[in-house]
Amino acid sequence: MAIRKGTGSARAGTHAVLASRRRVQLLDALRAGAESMAASELADLCNLHVTTVRFHLNALIEVGLIAKETEHNVARGRPRQLYRAQNPLGSGVGITSGYEKLAHVLAAHFARHSGDPENLAEAAGRQWALDDLGETSGAGRSAEETALVLTTLFAEMGFDPELEPSNVETRIRLHACPFESVARQNPGVVCSLHLGLIRGVLTRLGARQIESTLTPWDTAHTCLAQLERQ
């Protein structure tokens, strides 16, 4: 995967934007909605002042997580400014995107032509994180700090992640998968790739003391990533 120069600084900016609970709330509301929404509608939905909403929406626009558009076909009055979530990896309803087609081909190739497709896919995920996800710093990160970075990454990729409270380990529930149809057919390949991505991020963060697992389809429609300090 080719990565543009400056990806590391851009990702750091995204992490900072999503550190705000209100911005995550607004992003979740836009992702859950079937249509674009006005700032006033989001304010009512999230119980926030409309000025506060516009401030946070502008921050989300700057890092490319949402887009703004002008309302069309207005019978009277000024057209409103509407907001929608960006989903660069999503395939849409009933449509197979180029990314998804490519994923089907690669997953099937790994599964057919490798004696150990799961380890090969995990290694590819690790290398993806090490090569393409920008510079990180620090060592000995806590599981909670690491989970925030991973949650942001998964949110950017369209997995709709949710941090779950636990007294034993840090849990990240993934409510969506951009490549669900591929993962259903070849879970060993696709899910191992995502596990490798998680482990590569841990390496980049200097969090080698944290063990990670990924349970595909922990429920009928979600997967579960777990982080535990050893």
Tokens found for residue 191: 């899910």
What does each of the 230 residues of the chain score in pLDDT, given as a tens digit?
333 334 444 555 565 666 677 888 888 888 877 789 999 999 999 898 999 999 999 988 988 888 999 988 777 778 899 999 885 433 333 334 455 555 666 677 677 766 788 888 888 888 888 876 654 555 566 777 888 888 888 887 878 888 887 777 889 999 888 788 888 888 888 899 899 999 998 988 888 788 999 999 899 889 999 998 87
Q: DSSP code of 79?
A: P
Question: Cβ(218)–Cβ(183) under 8 Å?
Answer: no
Question: Cβ(228)–Cβ(210) under 8 Å?
Answer: yes
Tokens found for residue 220: 């009928």
Contacts of 124 (CB under 8 A, 6+ apart): 193, 196
pLDDT at 7: 47
Burial class (CB in 10 A: 0-12, 13-18, 19+), 33: middle
Say if strands 66-70 and 81-85 run parallel, antiparallel, or are unpaired. antiparallel
Beta strands in 127-208 (DSSP E): 161-164, 170-174
Task: Select from 228, 218, 197 the least CA-distant residue to 122.
Answer: 197
Q: Which residues on adjacent β-strands are paired with residue 161?
A: 174
Distance CA 158, CA 145 (A): 20
Please tell me the pTM assigned to this model: 0.57
Residue 202: in which H helix or E strand, if any? Answer: helix 187-204
Question: Cβ(122)–Cβ(192) under 8 Å?
Answer: yes
Task: Select from 1, 8, 28, 7 the least CA-distant residue to 151.
Answer: 28
Tokens found for residue 111: 């599964």
Q: DSSP code of 63?
A: T
Distance CA 173, CA 162 (A): 5
Q: Which residues on adjacent β-strands are paired with residue 212?
A: 227
What strands, in cross-sheet order, belong to the sheet with 81-85? Answer: 37-38, 81-85, 66-70
